Structure 1
Amino acid sequence: MEQKVYRVSAVIPIRNEEKFIERFLNSILEQDFPKKLIELIIVDGASSDNTKSIVSKYINKTSNIILLDNPLKTVPYALNIGIKKAKGDIIIRLDAHAEYPSNYISTLVSYLKKLNADNVGASVETIPANKKIKSKAIAVAMSTPFGVGNATFRINKNHTKEFIEVDTVPFGCYRRDVFDRIGLFDEELTRNQDNEFNERLKKAGGKIYLIPSLKIKYFARENYSKLFKMFYQYGYFGPLVDIKLGRPSRLRRYIPSLFVLSMVLPLILSIFYKNFIYISLSIAGIYFLVSLLFSIIESVKNKNIKLIPFIICAYFISHISYGIGYLKGFVDFVILKVNKKKKINVEISR
């Protein structure tokens, strides 16, 4: 019996990726999956740098790259534009801020069939965007349980299992019929659209698997300002995801906002009764000690004690920004219901 040949459509949202786009395209064009069975659909969100001109040079060299425009700029619009254009039996979401091993597509397609899965994905190895110590510290912080919670695809670097059933994966590889069954990505979600989509998929009975041995190199944000913006947006859209799902999502997504509240509320109450300030000071002290411990452990692992204060800062900025973002999102979406009144407008962090 002749085995079915699968065509793959890779959808790639991009915006101002001139620093990374060549490295990304080279890693994708060197895949061991038959090139005649791959189409690369790059959807540009009105880049203001040289990203599009770099992509155009690659289009002149190969016939399997399509460049589309996304005037609304954000990722979910780009994904949906690409999916509607895609001709493949399998659709893979790719991020241009990453490098992929040469067996990436072939491995995901193989496991998608082997496991009869709806979505499969790889582990993430977070690496520095440049050689500066701040960038190194950010990459380290985003790879630890204290930094990102129990996100399996980020922290299980040496997992011995061949595959693990999970709630989400980065840059998923989906069967085409998944989008016919549960719809496209939610365009209101500038961030967290993949989490919401995968939760929706799980709710519909879909199976999502992580392949730990397959690893992506993902470039972390290069400075604290971009780190703050990114995590603020992740937090901000958290309540809207809960509203759309009709239930709370994963516990790890609520801890930063509880941390912020545990610091701020006693400070406010100390106006009326000064001893409340000791609650905030105690929580801050405990947090600092735990953060210091994790930072020392990671600095020793990386053989660079100078990383300690920079990792502490990366932890604090990511936790505080996510917590503040979630609380702002709770006010906007749950109390004020701004998504019902007007189009959501959030500054794009990249």
Structure 2
Amino acid sequence: MSSWVSVIVPCRNERAHIEAFCASLFAQQLPAGWSLEAVIADGQSDDGTAQWLAEHAGERLKVIDNPGRIVSTGLNHALSIARGEVIVRMDVHSVYAPDYVAECIAALARTGADNVGGAWCAQGQGALQRAIGAVFQSRWLSGGARSRVLDFEGEVDTVYLGAWPRASFERFGAFDENLVRNQDDEHNLRIKKAGGRVWQSARIRSHYTPRAALSALARQYLQYGYWKAFVMRKHGQAASARHVLPALGLTAVLGAVLVLPWWPGVLPALLAPYALWVLGASAAAGREDWAVRLRMPAVILTYHGAYALGTIVGAWDVLRGLPPESARNSRFAQLTR
């Protein structure tokens, strides 16, 4: 008798990518004795995605409606009908190794962890998108996150996407539907606080396509920063110091601007070391060519500035008691890709 693995996929307006994604999904090479089903939760797409899915739905490809139209509600709807002993999350904009699901199953069996996944690997086309990917991938430019280190194997605070034994959701609960962003980080923090383990395996390989414009990147990280504040309110802590450092830095800069008439040297003292660090990190960007390196300072500023500003705005909304359900109706709930 086969064991089942269920791939759960939140989706909205992905007509340009859904066909290739499904083809790669069902080309996964599973271990002997395993069968795969996919459950795609469509967030009321209006670009032809829903029609394509309806035409191709069947025993192995189940399609359900996601009226909430955000990732957390889509994941939970898909989870509610998935029959697998193992649950694997996939996103449409990523490309997966043929043994991706098999390595998720193997890592769960090998480690006994409550969630496993691979490193976040960004690969872009063109100089700007490659610069966005290079900054994302740099451990030093992302606060030392192990989840960006492609060959790291061990316990981490979060992983890309994730794969769980069904028992993990019975023990730790499903995804928080109040969160438009960071629902995966919050779920991993919940696992860790309850004594569970999150494991990154270098054998679980995929890559995703980052945003291709600074404006889109800024909107994305503004939201990440904003919703991180609500995660911290829920748990009374940040999962890592790197989640608050950009906001603290921007707050210090804004404070220095306010005191410029009295202490004009404070602002240059803050900005000069950061500017040198940004330029040095860009110049030393591994194997990247100069077309990429020259774009990296603007990319770094966009990452850090948008995330910091989003965190500050989110912290203000948290301090004034704005409930997450109200925030979900704001501009920070509009998905940005």
TM-score range, shorter chain: over 0.9
2:150 aligned partner, one-letter code: K
1:157 to partner: Cα distance: 2.3
**Alpha carbons of structure 1 residues 222 and 190: separation in structure 2 relative to 1, 3 Å:** same
SS in 1 for 2:117: strand
1:158 alignment partner AA: D
* Paired residue type of 1:348: L
Task: Supply the distance in 2 between the matched residues of 1:134 and 1:188 (Cα, whole angstroms).
Answer: 33
Q: 1:158 aligns with which of 146, 151, 155?
A: 151
Distance 1:340-1:308 versus aligned 2 partners, 3 A rule: closer
Q: Does the 8 A contact of 1:191 with 1:237 survive in 2? A: yes
AA at the equivalent of 2:47: D
Shift of 1:36: 7.0
Give 1:245's aligned residue: 235
Q: What is the SS of the residue equivalent to 2:64?
A: strand
Verify the 8 A CA contact 2:260 2:266 in the aligned structure 1: no
* Residue 17, structure 1, aligned to residue 14, structure 2: yes
Q: 2:272 aligns with which of 270, 285, 291?
A: 285
Q: 1:57 to 1:152 in 2, by over 3 A?
A: farther
Going from structure 1 to structure 2, the CA distance change for 1:289 and 1:212 (only over 3 Å counts) comes to same
Identity over aligned residues, as a percent?
Answer: 29
TM-score by length of 2: 0.93
User: Secondary structure of 2:3's partner?
Assistant: coil
Kept after mapping to 2: 8 A contact 1:20/1:98:
no
CA distance in structure 1 between the partners assigned to 2:237 and 2:136 by the alignment: 27
Does 2:87 match 1:94? no
TM-score by structure 1 length? Answer: 0.89
Q: Which runs of 4+ in 1 moved over 4 A?
A: none
CA contact under 8 A between 2:178 and 2:325: conserved in structure 1?
A: no
Aligned to 2:287: 301
Aligned equivalents of 1:252 and 1:77: distance in 2?
A: 27
Of residues 208, 221, 234, the one that matches 1:231 is 221
* Paired position in structure 2 for 1:138: 132
Between 1:74-83 and 1:44-53, the stretch displaced more is 44-53
Name the SS for the 2:203 alignment partner: strand
Alpha-carbon distance between aligned partners in 1 of 2:84 and 2:155, rounded to the nearest angstrom: 25
Q: Which one of the candidate residues 328, 332, 338 is aligned to 2:322?
A: 338
Q: Is the 8 A contact 2:123 2:207 kept in 1?
A: yes
Could you say what secondary structure the match of 2:140 adopts? helix
Which residue in 2 is equivalent to 1:33?
30
Q: Structure 1 residue 320: deviation in Å?
A: 0.3
Cα pair 2:2 2:34 within 8 Å, conserved: no
**Partners of 2:277 and 2:55 in 1: CA distance:** 49
What residue in structure 2 maps to residue 270 of structure 1? 260
How far apart, in 2, do the equivalents of 1:165 and 1:203 lie?
14
How far apart, in 1, do the equivalents of 2:70 and 2:334 lie? 10
Distance in 1 (alpha carbons) for counterparts of 2:191 and 2:44: 30
Structure 1 residue 5: Cα displacement: 4.6
* TM-superposed deviation, 1:64: 0.5
For residue 55 of structure 1, report the CA deviation from its aligned partner: 3.2
Contact 2:66 2:73 in 1 (8 A): yes
Aligned-CA RMSD value: 2.0
Q: 2:42 matched to which residue of 1?
A: 44
- Aligned residue identity for 1:257: A
Given that 1:23 and 1:99 are in contact with CA atoms closer than 8 Å, whether structure 2 keeps it comes out as no
Say if 1:24 and 1:100, in contact at 8 Å, map to a contact too: no
CA displacement at 1:279 relative to structure 2: 1.9
Q: Secondary structure at the match of 2:118?
A: strand
- Structure 2: unaligned runs, 5 residues or longer: none
Paired letter, 2:240: R
Partner Cα distance (1:314, 1:48) in 2? 31
Q: CA deviation at 1:343?
A: 5.6
Q: 2:101 maps to what in 1?
A: 105
Tell me, what secondary structure is at the counterpart of 1:37?
strand
Distance 1:306 1:183 in 2: 46
Secondary structure in 2 matching 1:20: helix
Please give the secondary structure, in 2, of the residue aligned with 1:148: coil
- Residue deviations 1:188-242, cap 9 Å, x none? 1111111111111112221111101322111111111111111111110112111
Contact 1:153 1:212 in 2 (8 A): no
The amino acid of 1:329's aligned partner reads G
Quote the offset at 1:178 in angstroms: 1.3
Aligned match for 2:166, one of 176, 184, 189: 176
Aligned residues: 333
CA contact (8 A) 2:179 2:324 kept: no
Partner-residue secondary structure (3-state), 2:121: strand
- Does 246-255 or 317-326 show the bigger shift? 246-255
Q: 1:133 to 1:19 in 2, by over 3 A?
A: farther
CA drift at 1:44: 1.1
SS in 1 for 2:9: strand
